[in-house]
Structure formats: C-alpha cells, structure tokens
Chain A
Amino acid sequence: DAGVIQSPRHEVTEMGQEVTLRCKPISGHDYLFWYRQTMMRGLELLIYFNNNVPIDDSGMPEDRFSAKMPNASFSTLKIQPSEPRDSAVYFCASSLMRNTEAFFGQGTRLTVV
C-alpha cells in the first residue's frame, strides 16, 4: 500500500479564497483523523471519522472549516473563506481500528496571504 496520500503538498492562496485539502487513507482502515500543526499550538485534532461517519468535530475551529468523507477511500477538509491565521501544516492519518497505530500522510503546508 502507498500509505496515506494527501494533496496538495503545498498550497498558497489569498485570504478569502476557498481551500480544499484531500486525503486518501490506507485501504481497509476504519478511522480517519485530520490534524493541524502550528508552532504556537502544536498538533491539534480537528475532526475524526469512523466508517465514514464524523465522530467528534469539537476541534474544528470555526464554521469556516468543514470536513467530509463521502466514501471509505476519500476525505476532504475545506476552509471557506480562508484567513492568514489558517496557515499551518494539515495532516491526515488513518488507523485500522480503535486504539491501533495511526499512519500519517506527508501533510499539506497551507499558506494564506
């Protein structure tokens, strides 16, 4: 398996634009996690899914953020409208089942100017 695949690797956008980050989890994994990493706040859990269903989105910072998982092999994290303070590295991770190792993607470095 190729591992967790995220795209794009880098995204530079202007304030106010819509940004969509994409993730393909490892095949057969039931859990999918979205994290945001910044120097100030470290690694924050935004939302996670089990069998494509959102379980906990309490980490989503504002209504500008939304995440979907339309099927077992694809998830998106959307920011609309984007703001400079959204600049961060966004990671997607998946795990086979509860309490097992999570595999991380390479991350998407988002810069909002």
Chain B
Amino acid sequence: GNSVTQMEGPVTLSEEAFLTINCTYTATGYPSLFWYVQYPGEGLQLLLKATKADDKGSNKGFEATYRKETTSFHLEKGSVQVSDSAVYFCALSERQGGKLIFGQGTELSVKP
C-alpha cells in the first residue's frame, strides 16, 4: 500500500541554522503531497502543499518541491527560529480514493 517515510527525530538546531527534513513516499498514481505542523497540545495544521510533479509549496519561509523522479518531498527552511519548534508531518493524499496518509513525524527543537 501507499506510505510515507520521514527522517527520524528529534532534530535539534541552533537559531538561524538551515533545516532539512527528509520525506519520501510510495504511491500508485500521482498523489498530492503535504507538510503539516503540530504544536504542543494542538491538532495538526497545514504548512504547505504541492499537487503535481515539480510544484514547489512554500509558506512562512518553509519550502518543499514535489520530486516525482526521486519520490521525495523534503522540507527546507533557510533560517529557523525558536518558534519553529514543533513536530512536522509529511503526508500524501491518494489521487483516486482521497485517503490521507501521514509519516511518523519529526520533532524539531530550535535552541536560542
């Protein structure tokens, strides 16, 4: 079946460091891809999305590019802030049935 694999956390960075969180997927067809963020005690909220190959999603300084050839959707940010500390989830939505599948999440901790 379809699946999403993320790099394991926790990831600990200093403020202003460069962030990459790797995400790869397995899917039949052409899913839509998403990054969600979860702050402590809250539900998940959408960070960015891409619906077709070579699309780049971006929001709040975060970016991810839909790479069909490598089945990847890595999350990047050039300069992280303490307020970016959260758990980040990569997800895919199956084109046919609409099933929304998440990776296991990657915890990010940014130190001042």
Chain A residues numbered 52-109 whose CB sits less than 8 Å from any CB in chain B: 55-56, 91, 93, 95, 97-107
A56 touches B99 (CB 8 A): yes
**Cross-chain contact B43 with A104 (CB below 8 angstroms):** yes
- Asked whether any CB of chain A lies closer than 8 Å to the CB of B17, the reply is no
Q: In the complex, are the beta carbons of A45 and B100 less than 8 A apart?
A: yes
For chain B residues 59-112, which have a beta carbon within 8 Å of chain A?
A: 89, 93, 95, 97-105
A50 at the interface (CB under 8 A from B): yes
A residues contacting B by CB (< 8 A) are: 4, 31, 33, 35, 42-43, 45, 48, 50, 55-56, 91, 93, 95, 97-107
28 CB < 8 A contacts A-B: A31-B100, A33-B100, A35-B102, A42-B102, A42-B105, A43-B44, A43-B102, A43-B105, A45-B99, A48-B98, A55-B97, A55-B99, A56-B99, A97-B98, A99-B31, A99-B32, A99-B51, A99-B93, A99-B95, A100-B93, A101-B34, A101-B46, A102-B46, A104-B44, A105-B43, A106-B42, A106-B43, A107-B43
